[in-house]
Amino acid sequence: MTMNPKPNIMVVDDDVSILDILRQSLVMEGYSCDAYTRGEDAIESLQRLSVDILLTDIVMPGMRGLELVSRAKKIQPELTVIVMTGFVEEFSYDEAVRAGAVDFIKKPFTIHELVVRIKHAKLQEHLRELSITDELTGLSNRRGFFAFAQQQIRQVRRTGERMVLLYADLDNLKTINDTQGHLAGDRALADAAQIFRETFRDSDIIARMGGDEFAVVLVNATEENVEAVQKRLRKRLDEHNQRRDGTYRLSVSMGLSVFDPDRPASVDELIRDADAQMYDEKRKKAAQGS
| Contact status, residue 166 vs residue 274, Cβ threshold 8 Å | yes
Higher pLDDT, 254 or 85: 254
Average pLDDT over residues 120-143: 86
Instruction: Encode pLDDT of 181-200 as tens digits.
Output: 999 999 999 999 999 999 99
Q: What is the pLDDT of residue 134?
A: 93
Q: Does residue 4 have a pLDDT over 50?
A: no
| CATH 3.30.70.270 domain extents, the chain | 142-288
Asked whether the predicted pLDDT for residue 71 surpasses 60, the reply is yes
| More confident site: 264 or 39 | 39
User: What are the tens digits of pLDDT across the range 136-161?
Assistant: 999 999 998 998 898 888 888 888 88
> Does 5 score more than 80 pLDDT?
no
Bridge partners of 83? 56, 104
Domain with CATH 3.40.50.2300 in the chain: 8-130
22-36, 112-126, 199-213, 247-261, range with the lowest pLDDT: 112-126
**Mean pLDDT taken over the chain:** 89
- Compute φ and ψ for 251, nearest 5 degrees: -150, 155
| Dihedral over alpha carbons 63, 66, 72, 73 (to 10 degrees) | -160
Q: Does domain 142-288 have CATH number 3.30.70.270?
A: yes
Query: Mean pLDDT throughout 9-26?
Result: 94
What homologous superfamily is domain 8-130 in, according to CATH?
Answer: Response regulator (3.40.50.2300)
Distance of CA 218 to the CA centre of its chain: 11
- Looking at residue 138, its pLDDT comes to 92
Nearest to residue 53, comparing CAs of 18, 11, 99? 11
- Phi-psi region at 7: left, alpha or beta (left = phi > 0; alpha = psi -120 to 50): beta
What is the C-alpha to C-alpha distance for residues 19 and 56, in angstroms, rounded to an integer?
A: 10
Alpha-carbon span 6 to 30, nearest angstrom: 7
Could you give the count of Cα atoms lying within 13 Å of 8 in the half-sphere of its Cβ?
A: 9
| Dihedrals phi, psi of 6, to nearest 5 degrees | -130, 75
Q: Where does the pLDDT of residue 121 fall: very low under 50, low under 70, confident under 90, or very high at 90 and above?
A: confident
Q: Which are the contacts of 251, defined by CB distance < 8 A and separation ≥ 6? A: 170, 171, 172, 237, 241
In the chain, the percentage of residues whose pLDDT exceeds 70 is 96
Q: At 131, is the pLDDT very low, low, confident or very high (cuts 50, 70, 90)? A: confident
Q: What is the pLDDT of residue 246?
A: 66
Give how far Cα 121 sits from Cα of 7, 52, 222, Å.
12, 11, 37
At 1, the pLDDT band (50, 70, 90 cuts) reads very low
> 197 in helix, strand or coil?
helix
Which residue has better confidence, 48 or 92? 48
In this prediction, residue 250 carries a pLDDT of 93
Model pLDDT, residue 24: 94
CA torsion 209→214→219→220, rounded to 10°? -150
The Cβ of residue 205 has, within 10 Å, a number of other Cβ atoms equal to 22
Average pLDDT over residues 67-90: 87
- Of residues 6 and 5, more confidence is placed in 6
Asked whether the predicted pLDDT for residue 76 surpasses 50, the reply is: yes
Q: By C-alpha distance, which of 136, 165, 139, 133 is closest to 152?
A: 165
pLDDT single digits (tens) 234-274 = 999 999 998 876 678 999 999 999 998 888 889 999 999 99
